[in-house]
Amino acid sequence: MKKFDEINIIPFIDIMLVLLAIVLITASFISQGKIQVSVPKASSTVAFKSDDLAKLLTVTENGELYFNDKPIAKEALAQEISQWPKDQKVTLKVDAKAPFQEFVSITDLMAKNDIKNVAIVTLKDKGE
């Protein structure tokens, strides 16, 4: 019989790397939200960790509002925002073709409640 002095960890490392890749790919899909929105382009962007931002507000092309990927009326959203602490982090994702009034309405609601920590989701413009 052959005596095993060492454990071969190469297959274990291979499996762990595959699992890591799966987790990273899955996490990137989860963080983007379920509502499909074509966000506007900007010349400069700042990267942030989406898990640090607890609240997600989405406005679709038709002006529909979503709070954490669930439909919500403006009145209900105003009531929800009024209960948030002043330092609440918010991600605002507005479709590029949505009426500008929707964007102004949401930012006005947050300004009334002194919520200033708002990240607006955009795509980086490739430039010319």
| Length in residues, the chain | 128
Residue indicated by tokens 């500008």: 100
- Identify the bridge partners of residue 100 per DSSP, sorted by sequence position: none
More confident residue, 117 or 51: 117
Is 3.30.420.270 the CATH number for 41-124? yes
Per-residue buried b or exposed e for 16-50, using 16+ beta carbons within 10 Å of the residue's own CB: eeeeeeeeeeeeeeeeebebebeebeeeeeeeeeb
Beta-carbon contacts of 31 under 8 Å, excluding residues fewer than 6 positions away, are 50, 51
Q: How far is it, in rounded angstroms, from Cα 114 to Cα 48?
A: 22
Where residue 15 falls among pLDDT bands split at 50, 70, 90? Answer: very high
| Rounded CA separation 40/42 (Å) | 7
What is the model's pTM?
0.60
Q: Kindly list the domain boundaries of the chain, sorted by start residue.
A: 41-124
Tens of pLDDT, residue by residue over 29-78, are: 655 566 666 666 666 666 665 555 568 888 888 888 998 888 999 899 89
Per-residue pLDDT, averaged over 92-107, amounts to: 87
